[in-house]
């Protein structure tokens, strides 16, 4: 009798523990994949982030370390290193992969493209963020959109008189702006300019030739401070992140040219040779959560228009309501990949040649 009583007690305790554990799991709202990532991340202990001013740069990495650990109950250490532009980082990841070395970053933050998408892991992010739309994932689920930025012309509001703010792309070519335009160093997401109704395949090349002859230098995304300082009066095509500086009182604003603007999504990806892939999954899963989206807005002045309660979606809608044509660069790529690819290839060659005036 004593033995059966002990067995019953043991069975009850086991059931209670199981119920309690499953209750906790249900309470925390984490999916099994996310829980597995948490376990894996705890073993990894570290996350390497190598980029420039993305998501608040070093400050952002420090804040996200606290927020991610708080949300997932982990004790991860985020190791932020200021690095080259993301397209350059893709080149470095590719070289490291070819040489059989681990990547020097666990995260890729912006410019995923058909050329570099193969470097990243295929992940179904809906298994980590239930309810996330399929459309947030791109390039066979190798990248996931966490921020939508609006493409246009950033200018210095102190140094460009109101009546001379460019209205069209051609206005940037006016002689008075010679040497004062900073051109984005990469041609990523410029494919829509080659559409017949915008500049056309040949038109975009002629335009870039004139623009580069006009430009004072090549700028990376996140360099809007060089416009607010007056070093450059314009940044085109900008990366849509000048809004944050403007929110802090810096003399910058953005204008969408009459030819049209574009939205493009910044895609996060995890390199196949990432040394801490589970920690990277938690980082991205956090960015896709509501709290994470608020963080993205605070540090970049943007969030993903595809996710619920997006502020960016409202902004884009307001432009469209005013009759301004706003293209989606990914849709353009899907619709006419050959046009986009050939146009970006030609523009990249022009940009490389113009690296030395």
Partner 1 sequence: LTRGRPDLASVTIAVLVTIGTLLVLGLLAFVVWMSFARVAGGVVAGAPTPANYLTVFADPVVVRAAANTLIFAAGTVIIAGAFGLPLAWLAERTTLPGRSLIAAFLTMTLLIPGFFTAMGWLLLLHPRIGVVNQVLMQWFGLHGAPLPITNIFGMAWVEGLTLAPVFFIMAAGSFRATDTTFEEAASASGASGFQLLRRITLPLMFPAILAAGIYVFTSSLGTFDIPGVIGLSNRILTFSTYLYLKTSAQNGLPDYGPPAAFGTVVIGFAVLLGVVYIRMLARARTFQVVTGKGYRPRLVRLGSFAWLAWAFVGAYFTLTIVLPLLLIAWSALLPYYQPPSLQAMHLLSFASFAHVPWALILRGLQNSLVISLVAPTLALVLSMAFSWTILRSKLRGRLLLDGVAFLPHAVPGVIFSLGAILVALFLLPKWIPLYGSVAIIVLVNVVAWLSFGTRMINSALIQIGTELEEAGPASGASHFETLRRIIIPLLAPTIVSAWLWLVLLGLRELTRAVLLVTTDNVTLSVITWSMWTGGLINQAAVVVLATIAVLIPFMALYFYLARRARDFGET
Contact 52, 222 (CB under 8 A): yes
Tell the smallest beta-carbon distance from residue 294 to partner 1 (Å): 20
- Residue 298 backbone dihedrals phi, psi, to 5 degrees: -65, -35
The residue with tokens 């199981």 is 18
Helix (H, G, I), strand (E, B) or coil at 6: helix
Contact 155, 252 (CB under 8 A): yes
Among the listed residues 28, 225, 291, 294, the single contact to partner 1 using CB under 8 A: 225
Tell the smallest beta-carbon distance from residue 338 to partner 1 (Å): 17
Distance in angstroms (rounded) separating the CA atoms of residues 114 and 138: 10
- Of the pair 75, 357, the CB lying nearest partner 1 is at 357
- Of the pair 249, 323, the CB lying nearest partner 1 is at 249
Q: Which stretch binds partner 1 (CB under 8 A): 12-20, 23-31, 189-197, 216-224?
A: 216-224
75: tokens are 């004790």
Binding mask 46-85 for partner 1 (x = CB under 8 A): --x-x-xx---xxx-xx----------------xxxxxxx
Which residues between 226 and 285 bind partner 1 (CB under 8 A)? 226, 228-233, 245, 248-250
DSSP annotation of 103 reads: P
- Of the pair 106, 259, the CB lying nearest partner 1 is at 106
Tell the smallest beta-carbon distance from residue 48 to partner 1 (Å): 5
Is residue 175 involved in binding partner 1 (CB under 8 A)? no
Is residue 116 involved in binding partner 1 (CB under 8 A)? yes
Q: Which stretch binds partner 1 (CB under 8 A): 14-22, 98-106, 189-197, 302-310?
A: 98-106
Among the listed residues 44, 189, 224, 259, the single contact to partner 1 using CB under 8 A: 224
State the helix-helix crossing angle for 57-72 and 290-300, rounded to 10 degrees. Answer: 170
How crowded is residue 229: how many other Cβ atoms within 10 Å of its Cβ?
12
Q: Which stretch binds partner 1 (CB under 8 A): 17-25, 94-102, 139-147, 280-288?
A: 94-102
219: tokens are 């700028």
Tell the smallest beta-carbon distance from residue 253 to partner 1 (Å): 14
- Of the pair 53, 136, the CB lying nearest partner 1 is at 53
My answer on whether omega of the bond before 306 falls inside 30° of 0, hence cis, is no
Contact 268, 287 (CB under 8 A): yes
Distance in angstroms (rounded) separating the CA atoms of residues 155 and 122: 38
Task: Please state the three-class secondary structure of 135-176 as a single string.
Answer: HHEECCCCEEEEEEEEECEEEECCCCCHHHCCCCHHHHHCHH
- Of the pair 132, 244, the CB lying nearest partner 1 is at 244
Tell the smallest beta-carbon distance from residue 58 to partner 1 (Å): 3
Which residues between 304 and 343 bind partner 1 (CB under 8 A)? none
- Of the pair 61, 68, the CB lying nearest partner 1 is at 61
Among the listed residues 138, 141, 184, 220, the single contact to partner 1 using CB under 8 A: 220
69: tokens are 């650990």
| DSSP strand pairing (215-219 vs 77-82) | unpaired
Distance in angstroms (rounded) separating the CA atoms of residues 284 and 328: 23
Reference 75, options 108, 109, 47, 34; nearest CA is: 47
- Residues at the contact surface with partner 1, assessed by CB under 8 A: 48, 50, 52-53, 57-59, 61-62, 79-85, 87-88, 91-92, 94-101, 104-105, 115-116, 159, 179-180, 185-186, 215-220, 222-226, 228-233, 245, 248-250, 348, 352-357
């Amino acid at each position: 009798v004593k033995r059966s009583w002990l067995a019953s007690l043991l069975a009850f305790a086991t059931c209670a523990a199981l119920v309690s554990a499953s209750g906790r799991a249900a309470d925390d709202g984490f999916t099994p994949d996310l829980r597995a990532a948490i376990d894996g991340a705890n073993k990894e202990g570290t996350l390497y982030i190598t980029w420039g001013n993305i998501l608040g740069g070093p400050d952002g990495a420090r804040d996200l370390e606290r927020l991610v650990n708080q949300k997932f109950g982990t004790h991860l250490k985020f190791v932020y290193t200021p690095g080259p532009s993301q397209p350059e980082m893709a080149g470095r990841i590719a070289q490291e992969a070819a040489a059989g070395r681990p990547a020097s970053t666990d995260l890729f933050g912006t410019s995923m493209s058909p050329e570099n998408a193969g470097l990243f892991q295929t992940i179904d992010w809906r298994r980590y963020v239930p309810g996330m739309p399929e459309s947030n994932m791109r390039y066979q689920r190798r990248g996931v959109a966490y921020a939508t930025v609006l493409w246009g012309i950033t200018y210095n509001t102190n140094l460009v008189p109101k009546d001379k703010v460019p209205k069209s792309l051609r206005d940037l070519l006016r002689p008075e702006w010679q040497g004062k335009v900073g051109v984005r160093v990469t041609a990523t997401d410029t494919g829509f300019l080659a559409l017949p109704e915008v500049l056309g395949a040949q038109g975009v090349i002629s335009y870039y030739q004139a623009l580069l002859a006009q430009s004072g230098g090549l700028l990376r995304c996140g360099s809007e401070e060089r416009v607010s300082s007056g070093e450059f009066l314009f940044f085109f095509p900008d990366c849509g992140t000048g809004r944050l500086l403007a929110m802090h009182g810096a003399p910058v604003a953005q204008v969408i040219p009459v030819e049209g603007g574009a939205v493009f999504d910044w895609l996060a990806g995890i390199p196949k040779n990432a040394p801490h892939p589970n920690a990277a999954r938690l980082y991205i899963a956090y960015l896709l959560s509501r709290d994470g989206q608020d963080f993205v807005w605070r540090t970049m002045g943007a969030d993903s228009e595809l996710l619920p309660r997006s502020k960016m979606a409202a902004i884009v809608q307001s432009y469209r309501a005013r009759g301004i044509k706003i293209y989606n660069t990914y849709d353009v790529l899907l619709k006419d990949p050959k046009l986009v690819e050939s146009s970006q290839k030609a523009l990249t060659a022009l940009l490389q040649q113009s690296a030395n005036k």
